[in-house]
Chains A and B, each alone.
Chain A
Amino acid sequence: MLQARIRKTFPPGKESSGFALDLDFRAAAGVTVLFGPSGAGKTLALDSIAGFIRPDEGRILLDDAILFDAPSGVHLPPQARNCGYVFQNYALFPHMTLRQNLEFAAERRPRLERHRRVNEMIERFRLGETAGRRPHEVSGGERQRCSIARALIGAPKLLLLDEPAQGLDAPLRGEFYEILRQVRADFQTPILLVTHDLDECFELGEEMLVLTAGRIVQSGAPRDILDRPATLDVAKLLGAFNLLPAEIRALDPGRNTSRVQVAGVELEGPYFPGRLKGDRVTICVRPEQLHAAPRNGRPGLNQMPAELQRAIEKPQFVRLEFSGGIVVDLPRAQYERQRDAKQWMIEFPASALRAL
């Protein structure tokens, strides 16, 4: 289990406007994902835990070992931290074969065990045929597997991964997720993964930490965060929502409902606690939660007429862009039956509305 409290400030300089990292979080067994846009401080957090960067204040505890403690001046070098680190470019030693890369890492185990560990990893990560080759002579997938195997050979207490699937094509990406799931199942090591890809959070993460501008703004299971983003910023970061300006018209805690006015139409939603009538809020709802059908008569409850402006075909669904900036995702089969309609009716299921 990792417990980290990290504070580091970079004062504004000639070329930068300064940055402040302020984190306090835990990572237990399983995969914890640090999610955030570029520049949010994700790699900085990882580097602080690995020991490449010294925070100004705080404390980093891994199981019972103190890796860093500002008041007492403890700051273990990376060699002493027993944290495996998988770099974005894999960082395999180019002048050694894959096997030699693994042997290098195995040198921290007792001599009698080394040979056995290396062979075990080669078999487990399917490197048998290519173990005698150099990194530039093998495929991207093999390099990836080797770098993960190398990081795990020393039986680290924590595995850190820096945007490992960045820039990989779909098959390699899928392969990587599969490997990581295996690692999670076979090794008990807590895994801390850094990414700006929401899909990756969902594929792998049991716990998600949303990071912006050096601070954690929300934490929880990915599906919970998607279901209930804490703030407008988080919703924007996830990029998975319609964000519609609205005004609260009525609040009824007794019946657990509210009424909001969005783009001239009144919609019913769940009760929004902590709000007052007349408040201006942003209603957020996911494109795949909305229903849309060609217009057929007058709007009913929670229905809004809209004109279809654009239909973008995606591999798994069709994204419909309507007037008013509303986006609806429809399964392809459903869209195919109605593709020529111009006037549509969008239905907002009451339970899907959130107010930020």
Chain B
Amino acid sequence: MSIDWFPLWLSLRVAFVSTALAAGAGLWVAYVLANRDFRGKEALDAAVTLPLVLPPTVLGYYLLVVAGRASPLGKLWETVFGSPLVFTWKAAVVAALLHSLPLLVKSARAGLESVDRSCERAARTLGASEWKLFWRVTLPMARRPILAATALAFARSLGEFGATLMIAGNIPGRTQTVAVAIYDAVEAGNGALARTLVLVISAVALGILTIANRIAPR
């Protein structure tokens, strides 16, 4: 019996890309929330947290409305990239991002806010610009909670199911992520495939958890 490893590689690829994007955007949003005060700050915080609270299929539905082929965003994507966003692996990235981004922002913000304020003030009196302060002082001092948050965001991306199914579909060999593949295998009665995939994913998740615990604050 041959195992189709495609869903696993796809999921890993989707998880890496979405975590990288989430880290990039998430750190910036976390920095803004931790350091700036402005009208609408709480609204931004709520908007970022919302995907965590909504059921995944609801999110998927909204995504279809916003980025589907008939929507302005979808049409724009098609003109720029030549093919639609939906039902491609890139859509799976978007779906995974929706969950990993809020997780990362919340943890990163807490991490940044936990950094000793007097160290940040000291850096300023020593002539450090805000940029230098962030990259050389605040981030290194908050690296443990942020790395742990990134690891968990990765794990979450790996398991995305509901929204992925709706916006990326279940096209074997193209958008069938491992979570969907397991569902499919169970439905089709293919116990061996399901078991293998489940074991591999469990091992990966356990590995990530161990790493996250090692680097989380003592």
Q: Please tell me if the beta carbons of B122 and A87 are within 8 angstroms of each other in the complex.
A: yes
Nearest chain-A residue to B121 (Cβ)? A52
Stretch at the interface among B2-10, B105-113, B136-144: B136-144
CA distance A342 to B123 in the complex (A): 61
CA distance A77 to B126 in the complex (A): 11
Q: Please tell me if the beta carbons of B125 and A83 are within 8 angstroms of each other in the complex.
A: yes
In whole Å, how far is B188's beta carbon from the nearest beta carbon of chain A? Answer: 52
CA distance A83 to B118 in the complex (A): 15
Q: Please tell me if the beta carbons of A104 and B125 are within 8 angstroms of each other in the complex.
A: no
Nearest chain-A residue to B122 (Cβ)? A91
A177 within 8 A of B: no
B128 within 8 A of A: yes
**Chain B residues with CB below 8 A from A150, complex form:** 122, 126
Q: Please tell me if the beta carbons of A93 and B141 are within 8 angstroms of each other in the complex.
A: yes
Nearest chain-A residue to B143 (Cβ)? A95
B127 within 8 A of A: yes
**Chain A residues with CB below 8 A from B195, complex form:** none
Q: Please, how many residues of chain B have a CB less than 8 angstroms from a CB on the other chain?
A: 16
Interface residues on A, range: 20 to 34
Within 8 A of B (CB), among A80-105: 81-85, 87-89, 91-95, 104-105
In whole Å, how far is B144's beta carbon from the nearest beta carbon of chain A? Answer: 10
CA distance A151 to B118 in the complex (A): 13
Within 8 A of A (CB), among B125-157: 125-129, 136-137, 140-141
Q: Please tell me if the beta carbons of B121 and A79 are within 8 angstroms of each other in the complex.
A: no
A94 CB contact (under 8 Å) in B123, B124, B126, B141: B141
B116 within 8 A of A: yes
CA distance A95 to B119 in the complex (A): 11
15 contacts between A and B (CB under 8 A): A78-B121, A78-B124, A79-B125, A79-B129, A84-B125, A88-B118, A89-B118, A91-B118, A91-B122, A92-B122, A93-B122, A93-B137, A150-B122, A151-B126, A154-B126
